[in-house]
Amino acid sequence: MELEKQLSRYSELPRFKWFIRVLLVTSVACVLVAKIYLTIYVIDLTVGLYSVLTSFVLLNILIFSFFRYKDPYIEAQNVDISTNAPLITIAVAVKNEEDNIRNCVQSCLNQTYQNKEIIIVNDGSTDKTGEILDDMRKQNISNLRIIHLSKSVGKKKAIEVASEVSNGEIYAFMDSDCDMAPDALEIAAKTFKADRRLGALTAHGRVERANNGTILEKCQDVYIDVAFRAVKGAESSFNSVTCCSGSLSFYRRNAIQDFIHEWAHDKFLGQDFKFCTDRRMTAHVLESVAVSKNEDSTHIPIFQTGSDDIEIMKKSTDPDVHKESNHYWNVKYSHSIRVNVGVPTTILGLIKQQIRWKKSFIRSIFSTGGMFWKRPFYVALLYYIQTAMKFVRPFVLFYVLVMLPLRGDLTSMLFWFAGIMYTGMVYGVEFRLRNPGSKRWIFRLLFAFLTTFVYTWLLIYAAFTIRNRSWR
């Protein structure tokens, strides 16, 4: 049995593809050593130090996502949910999505998991979204509830409305331009039942239209796929995913119910912050002590801090008690839960989306950044390094594009460009390994330049316009 468990961990790819992953990690390690040497003896110190940090972070992401991450569903797939199956509330806030909402709601109705309730909140739509929802409700009266708001209150407050009338033990929050795989709820239910300390679980996103879509859609598909599997996979290996995606994420009710009102009415710089800050919600789960709920609805901490409780834990026959001493909620990512993500189809739409996300990122610094040190040391270290690099990157990019040419240091500038291409290539190869036959891996190289030369400046713009509260 133990051998089977070990083998199941590596069942994601055939053995020879795992060998290629080892080569990728080795390659990045060699590049890191080479960068350190070049920084000391050859290239500009500023460019070199930043490049060394980039490779250091990349190396750690690959190591943890390749060799430490294990999909939580692997251990949960045989869990029996035929009895005491948790009620899952699917909550979707929608505004002016007449082209997508039918597909979104239908994916909720088509779930193989039966113990569910679906609550759709129409946030003051001015198109045909409301009519489409009413039509669908007539055909599915039993488990579909539509709430029409007379005016738009924003996505977070719309979600709060759904939470006030929900009965589920688990929330499934999904964006209205997305649709989930038919077994998504079933996998989530088993995973939550298998891990009583699981507070939040995020799904794996892909762009459904990428096969026949535009170059921009293909680029986003590769980027999203790798970002989930690599970055969230690495974070999940420490039970500490920093952002549960709005495309589809699950939350244990106990972990967030007392926070939803505060989250929905979040204020920043003295005014309402209307963006649906998934990072802010995730941060709350990350910093909260795990609790269970007994029959009389009293919340009881899973782990106490007194000496008597420690002695009880030592004597406990529950294997989970001995397995971990961490008393915070686990926040994980499951590669098995799939969701098709709606993405912008124009550059302008993509830029607007990224500005909203970067505003949420800035806001989250004061929540996630203020508590993430409580998580395992190494993953916290990586988080703070990456966060600092995001703010430093605009200045480094300006230095590379302007200062180095003025100084005539073309070697350091070319070194910088080569590093961008190399990082894109590594992630592109990883995409190809998990998507055999797909030629879209090459678009990861193209997107690397977009993220570097466009996304970098958007962080500055987002900071200066953060008082603009529109979420659409």
Query: Which domains does the chain carry?
Result: 85-353 (3.90.550.10)
Place of tokens 């929802």: 133
Give 387-390's long-range contacts (Cβ < 8 A, gap of 24+): 389/50, 389/53, 389/54, 389/57, 390/361, 390/459
Residue 296: pLDDT over 70? no
| CB half-sphere exposure, 388, CA atoms < 13 A | 10
Using CB atoms within 10 Å of the CB of residue 351, give its burial: 0 to 12 exposed, 13 to 18 middle, 19+ buried.
middle
Using CB atoms within 10 Å of the CB of residue 385, give its burial: 0 to 12 exposed, 13 to 18 middle, 19+ buried.
middle
- The per-residue pLDDT for 327 is 82
Dist. CA 230–CA 196, nearest whole Å: 25
- The per-residue pLDDT for 11 is 61
- Enumerate the β-bridge partners of residue 180: 339
Provide the residue type at 26 as one letter: T
- The per-residue pLDDT for 269 is 78
- The per-residue pLDDT for 365 is 87
- The per-residue pLDDT for 7 is 40
Confidence of residue 293 (pLDDT cuts 50, 70, 90): low
Residue 322: pLDDT over 50? no
Instruction: Give which of 284, 300, 301 is closest to 374, Cα–Cα.
Output: 284
Residue 357 three-state SS: helix
- The per-residue pLDDT for 212 is 86
Kindly report, residue by residue over 46-87, the tens digit of the pLDDT.
Answer: 999 999 999 999 999 999 999 999 999 999 999 999 888 999
Confidence of residue 255 (pLDDT cuts 50, 70, 90): very high
Instruction: Give which of 188, 205, 2, 4 is closest to 90, Cα–Cα.
Output: 188
Dist. CA 432–CA 304, nearest whole Å: 46
Contact call for residues 423 and 448 (beta carbons, < 8 A)? yes
Confidence of residue 8 (pLDDT cuts 50, 70, 90): very low
Dist. CA 163–CA 156, nearest whole Å: 11
Kindly report, residue by residue over 103-149, the tens digit of the pLDDT.
Answer: 999 999 999 999 999 999 999 999 999 999 999 988 876 789 999 99
Confidence of residue 320 (pLDDT cuts 50, 70, 90): very low
- Residue range 366-370: average pLDDT? 84
Dist. CA 279–CA 287, nearest whole Å: 12
Place of tokens 């709005």: 246
Contact call for residues 123 and 154 (beta carbons, < 8 A)? yes
Task: Count CB-CB contacts under 10 A for residue 278.
Answer: 22
Dist. CA 349–CA 338, nearest whole Å: 24
- Kind and range of the H or E element at 41? helix 15-41
Q: Give the predicted TM-score (pTM) of the model.
A: 0.88
Looking at every residue in the chain, the average pLDDT score rounds to 88
- Residue range 187-210: average pLDDT? 95
